[in-house]
Each structure stands twice: as structure tokens, then as C-alpha cells.
A = this chain, B = another copy of it.
């Protein structure tokens, strides 16, 4: 089997969790293609008006950007074999929960990644998940097992 696994990394953009997963995958030489939303916060907010022209109203400013981002994220999410849904310590992060619901409806398995303090608030999101991880390293181990059947030594 020569399958390349598409893994989508959804959620928090203020810590290095994506880099740690990428580094772990590289070290383990897993046949994985990672994808993610645009993680440059300002670009993600302003992409709509930067390309299609300014808006007086902040709501439509945001809307144009969010619509454009959704073309990217929706396409990549629909192609993902597995999604990793990350909730950091701060912020509302409703788009991460949105992506989890999107996966659930599509039947795409996902793994959540969040600290214990969010356990109760995330119980519905975790309930629809295939696993809940505390660290990016656990995610890499899980991928190693899912793909190659290898467990951490």
C-alpha cells in the first residue's frame, strides 16, 4: 500500500503545534500530506478586502475574508482522510468546533487536541472524535499507528 494520507490541521494559530506535528511526521517518515488554513492572522482577516476591494462596514469586511478562507478550508477538509482539531488555552475558537461538526457530518474521522481545562466544554466535540490528545506528539504517535501500525517504543 502506497497511500499518502491527507491530514488537515484545524484550529488555534497562536502556538507551534502545527510545527511540532510536522517535525514529528518528518522524523517518523510518515507518508503524510499536511494541510491547514492560512495561519497568518492579519492576512486571514483581510484577504477579502485586499483582493476584492475595501468595505466600509466591518461585518462585510470580515465576511468577504471568511468566505474566501472557506474556499480553501472547505476544499482541504473535504479531501482530508483525518483532521486534527486544536483548541488552545485562549480565544473562542469557534471555527475549530465548526470544522469538527463539518467532519462529523462528512464521516471524516478527527482527533481533538486540547488541554484538560476544556474537557467539559468540549464534551460534544470530543464525543464525535476518534481520539482526544493532549500533545502534538501523541497526535504523531497516533498517525504512526494508524498508518504503519507502529506503537511508540
Contacts and interface: CB of A to CB of B under 8 A. Distances in A.
B152 A50 contact: yes
Interface string A11-54: 00000000000000000000001110011100100111011110
Nearest to A145: B47
B98 A133 contact: no
Contacts of A51: 131, 138, 141-142, 145, 151-152
One complex includes copies of this chain to the number of 8
A75 B5 CA distance: 10
Interface residues of A, number: 86
Nearest to A119: B59
Interface of A: 1-3, 5, 33-35, 38-40, 43, 46-48, 50-53, 55-60, 62-72, 74-76, 79, 81-82, 87, 91-107, 109, 111, 118-128, 130-134, 138, 141-142, 145-147, 149, 151-152
Q: Which 6 A-B pairs have the closest CB atoms?
A: A101-B101, A105-B105, A66-B127, A97-B97, A98-B101, A101-B102
